[in-house]
Amino acid sequence: MQNLVVVFHTIPSKSWLKKTLKVINSLYDFIPIEYIDSHFYSGKKFNNCCHISFDDGDISFYKYAFPVLREMKIPASLFVSPKIIIYKSNYWFQDVHYIIEKMGAGYLKKRVCEVMNFNYDLIKIYSIYSLLNTLKHRDVIKIIEVVKSLNNINTIQRYNIEKDQLIEINNTQSITIGAHTINHPILSNETYENIRDEIGCSINQLASMLNKDIRYFAYPNGLSGIDYGFREKSILKENNIKLAFSTSVGRIHNKTDPLDIPRVPAKGINGESNIKFIMRLLLLSKWSTLRNIIKFGMNRTETIERKELIEFLSNYYCSK
């Protein structure tokens, strides 16, 4: 089988998305998420197909992706946090991006060390996002609030769709809404009780908001074995989730776990040729390995960096 799921986050423009989707469609036929469901639970066969998905519910989905998907008649799924939608708030990483744009990653990394009482020399080699992705959600929020207070930041730009927009999207039969936790924590960093609430409440609140059962889920950040594992999948089963999606790169095959479905992050063709983008889609994990070598070096990857930080912070949290 040569089937895959592609995931988008923010969309820069309608024209960018149209061009990207046309490149994907030159290689694959688009299918709705229900086909994947039927594959795992009813034995439906399909080949050379692609499902399009979007995480978070950035306002660019409503402005750019929603009209393009309707125009091109492409089915898709959208994974969101009901809390973010209801309270018109930001995900923590959106506030972090705002802070980095205003004050720089180095500044934020130093504030992390001050709040967490870390030795700066021990963590300075790591990227700020790898560092924050290894912390508990409560500590990330504490760091953000400290930075806002120190710099007299009273408001931060709002990035996401609102409730009436989500309901409008949901009423389009070709777009399926799925859950994405309440606060977008890295689930593996949290206690069992916290992740039960994060997963269960997001599913129940979204079901209540949309007046429908929620059967699909996307893991925050989504690296299999790093950001989630058996514990999280067990909780999803308790909540009757049928399909759960990662950001680990790969294709759907006969041995794929329906609660561990890989996806291909779509950076599209912004700044790269059609041929390069097609090669990236065809090579998948091999292309990802090459990118990691270029970015981190022959013997270092983003996953290795995260594992080193997890080991470093395990002693910190055990002492708390």
The domain spanning residue 70 has which CATH number? 3.20.20.370
Helix, strand and coil in the chain, % to nearest 5: 50, 10, 35
Residue 293 maps to a domain:
no
Alpha helices by DSSP H, the chain: 14-25, 33-42, 59-60, 66-72, 82-86, 92-103, 105-116, 120-123, 128-132, 137-150, 163-170, 192-210, 230-238, 274-283, 285-296, 302-318
Q: Report in angstroms the alpha-carbon separations of 214 from 81, 122, 154, 174, 231.
A: 12, 43, 35, 15, 20
265: buried, middle or exposed (CB in 10 Å: 19+, 13-18, 0-12)? middle
Residue 305 maps to a domain:
yes
Do 151 and 27 fall within a single domain?
no
Do 226 and 104 fall within a single domain?
no
Do 131 and 169 fall within a single domain?
no
Both tokens assigned to 151: 């710099």
Please give the pLDDT value at position 66: 98
Do 271 and 142 fall within a single domain?
no
Do 188 and 147 fall within a single domain?
no
Do 45 and 122 fall within a single domain?
no
CA distance 154 to 4: 43
Residue 289 maps to a domain:
no
Do 225 and 170 fall within a single domain?
yes
Do 172 and 253 fall within a single domain?
yes
How many whole angstroms from its chain centre is CA 209?
Answer: 21
Please give the pLDDT value at position 288: 55
Residue 292 maps to a domain:
no
Do 106 and 247 fall within a single domain?
no
- Domain of residue 313: give its range: 92-158+298-320
Do 153 and 168 fall within a single domain?
no
Both tokens assigned to 208: 């209540």
pLDDT, one tens digit for every residue, the chain (320 residues): 589 999 999 999 999 999 999 989 988 999 999 999 999 999 888 889 999 999 999 999 999 999 999 999 999 999 999 999 999 999 999 999 999 999 999 999 999 999 999 988 888 888 899 899 999 999 999 999 999 999 988 878 899 999 999 999 999 989 999 999 999 999 999 999 999 999 999 999 999 999 999 999 999 999 999 999 999 999 999 999 999 999 988 889 888 999 999 998 887 555 556 666 777 777 775 555 545 544 544 444 667 777 778 777 776 665 55
Residue 288 maps to a domain:
no
Do 122 and 152 fall within a single domain?
yes
If one counts the domains in the chain, the total is 2
Residue 185 maps to a domain:
yes
Both tokens assigned to 66: 């929603």
Residue 232 maps to a domain:
yes
- Taking the model in full, what pTM does it have? 0.91
Both tokens assigned to 171: 């009423």
Of 176, 170, 263, 175, which is closest to residue 215 (Cα–Cα)?
176
Furthest C-alpha separation in the chain = 57
CA distance 174 to 77: 8
Do 232 and 124 fall within a single domain?
no
Of 280, 244, 286, which is closest to residue 265 (Cα–Cα)?
280
CA distance 126 to 139: 18
CA distance 13 to 9: 12
Residue 291 maps to a domain:
no
